[in-house]
Structure 1
């Protein structure tokens, strides 16, 4: 099978298209023919070694979120059949690239996968697991009422935060690029703040979900809450602000619900472009350049 391997630590140039043996499904596993795998900031961070737990020694395969079809099943895997459409999240924080999703096939634990409704295409499905679960789990750390500032609201995590928070009755202030104003308003944002504007002008707010992160502590009222997706400097303890770092953990039941909501149109996602798996290095370059409206997704077949 074809796979994209990081043969060293560095930028996009370290990614190499490589022929690897096709894996076999072991006990409790299914062999997934990958049709789509999402390109995440976490993949770019992995290739440069800037990830929690320290660098992964090369060679390794990037790739968290996959969608495809069951090609074979291993012993003790009765819930999936050959031909089933599935989406899932490889818990890369545990596998550390063995396996990763940048490949034509992956032997995945059944617990990493959920059924993929026919209404949802592979590329869109591959944008859901990491982003939507991070958003849902991070929101659980925030107050259930009041004004919430979401930075990076036009991005993958921020877009899901905006939708889920609005559905829960929070008053959402969404910060994003000016070109994304209509998108985030359609996601349920009550107010829009251009990315070029100091988020402190939106304050005081009860909480911030800092998905970029920008570190907008000045916007938070004393005693408020800030959730980030990356480590940030501590805020003055005298202000009594609770800082929370949201790191993803795989929750299969949650993932199944979120995928079903996207398939039913109750949650929205967007794909900026699809590119062949063999162009993964170019996809990383494009992601680093920025200016994308949606996620890049690598496809096979």
Structure 2
């Protein structure tokens, strides 16, 4: 099979298309023929070595979120069978590229995967697992729900899911949108949409901040004393005198939650969007496009 590996640490130029052995399903695994794999900022971070736990030594394959069809099942893989359409998240924080999703075939633990509803196409499905679970798990750190919340990066994958989920949890949502992308964020239902250029110290104060970008100190300026700030990466500490609780949301795979969120996207309860698709063989060009910025939605690599 063909796959894409990072042959060294560096920019997009380190990604190479190469022939790899076809994987075999071990006990509790299935082999998935990949139809779509999402390009995440985490993939770009992996190739440059800027990831929690330190750099992975090349060669390795990037790729977290995959969608495709089961073509083989190993012993004990009783809940998924050949021909099933599936979507899932490779827990890259554990596999560290062995495997990664940038490949034509992936041997995946069945716990990483859920069945893909017929109403949802492979490309859209591949945008869901990492971002939607991060959004849901981050909001769960803000218990009890309700009150006001500022969501930064609401135009993005995590922020967009967080906006919809926060509304359903009963928050009054102030959502920060990228330049000229306010209309899409309004369509998510946010009570108030603010542009990226706004000084967040003038917003609120709000009881909670989901800093999905993250912006760090700029976003923390909006939270009230005694509130909570959840970020997707570590940020500078907030003055302890303010009594603000800081939490860092690090993804954890939750199959039951994933199935629920995928179902909600399929039924239209949650929204996702795809900016563009590119062939798997153009992964390096895809990374350059993500680095250039300005995408509205996710970039997805397709196979076949």
My pick for the range that moved more, 252-261 or 181-190, is 181-190
Cα distance in 1 for partners of 2:32, 2:215 equals 37
Give the match for residue 199 of structure 1. 200
Give the match for residue 32 of structure 2. 32
Cα distance in 2 for partners of 1:236, 1:81 equals 53
Name segments (4+ residues, structure 1) moved above 4 Å. Answer: none
Give the match for residue 41 of structure 2. 41
Give the match for residue 213 of structure 1. 214
Alignment of 1:1-301 (within 5 A): 1-142=1-142, 143-215=144-216, 216-301=219-304
How far is the alpha carbon of 1:176 from its aligned partner?
A: 1.2
Instruction: Say which SS state the counterpart of residue 261 (structure 2) adopts.
Output: helix
Instruction: Say which SS state the counterpart of residue 155 (structure 2) adopts.
Output: coil
Superposition TM-score, scaled by structure 2 size: 0.98
Cα distance in 2 for partners of 1:217, 1:262 equals 30
Cα distance in 2 for partners of 1:52, 1:7 equals 20
CA deviation string 1:119-155 (max 9, x = no partner) = 0000000000000000000000114111100000000
Instruction: Say which SS state the counterpart of residue 282 (structure 2) adopts.
Output: helix
Instruction: Say which SS state the counterpart of residue 165 (structure 1) adopts.
Output: helix
CA deviation string 1:98-137 (max 9, x = no partner) = 0000000000000100000010000000000000000000
Cα distance in 1 for partners of 2:160, 2:298 equals 11
CA deviation string 1:172-228 (max 9, x = no partner) = 000011321111111121001100111121120001000001121111110010000
Cα distance in 2 for partners of 1:160, 1:201 equals 25
Cα distance in 1 for partners of 2:100, 2:244 equals 37
Gaps of 5+ in 1: none
How far is the alpha carbon of 1:273 from its aligned partner?
A: 0.3
My pick for the range that moved more, 173-182 or 277-286, is 173-182
How far is the alpha carbon of 1:96 from its aligned partner?
A: 0.2
Instruction: Say which SS state the counterpart of residue 179 (structure 1) adopts.
Output: coil
Gaps of 5+ in 2: none
CA RMSD of aligned residues (A): 0.6
My pick for the range that moved more, 92-101 or 199-208, is 199-208
